[in-house]
Amino acid sequence: MPADAVGHRVVHGGRRFVGPALVDDDVERAIEKLSVLAPLHNRRALEEIRRAREALPDVPHVAVFDTAFHHTLPAAASTYAIPERWREEWDVHRYGFHGISVQWVASQVDAERLVVCHLGGGCSVTAVHGGRSVDTTMGFSPLEGVPMTTRSGSVDPGALVYLLREKLLTLDELEHALERESGLAGLSAGGSGDVRETSQLALDVFIHRVAAAVGAMAAACGGIDVLAFTGGIGEHAAHVRERVVEHARFLGDFRVEVVESREELVIAAETRRLLEP
Please name every residue paired with 199 in a beta bridge, in sequence order, or none if there are none. none
Distance (Å, rounded) from C-alpha 130 to C-alpha 222?
11
Q: Is 235 exposed, middle or buried (0-12, 13-18, 19+ CB in 10 A)?
A: middle
Distance (Å, rounded) from C-alpha 144 to C-alpha 155?
8
Given 24, 26, 58, 66, which residue is catalytic? 66
Beta strands in the chain (DSSP E): 10-12, 15-17, 21-22, 62-63, 113-119, 123-129, 132-136, 226-230, 255-258
Per 3-state DSSP, the chain is made up of helix, strand and coil in percentages (nearest 5) of 50, 15, 40
Is 253 marked active-site?
no
Distance from the first to the final alpha carbon of the chain = 19
Distance (Å, rounded) from C-alpha 77 to C-alpha 75?
5
Are 131 and 111 in contact, with CB atoms under 8 Å apart?
no
* Residues labelled catalytic: 66
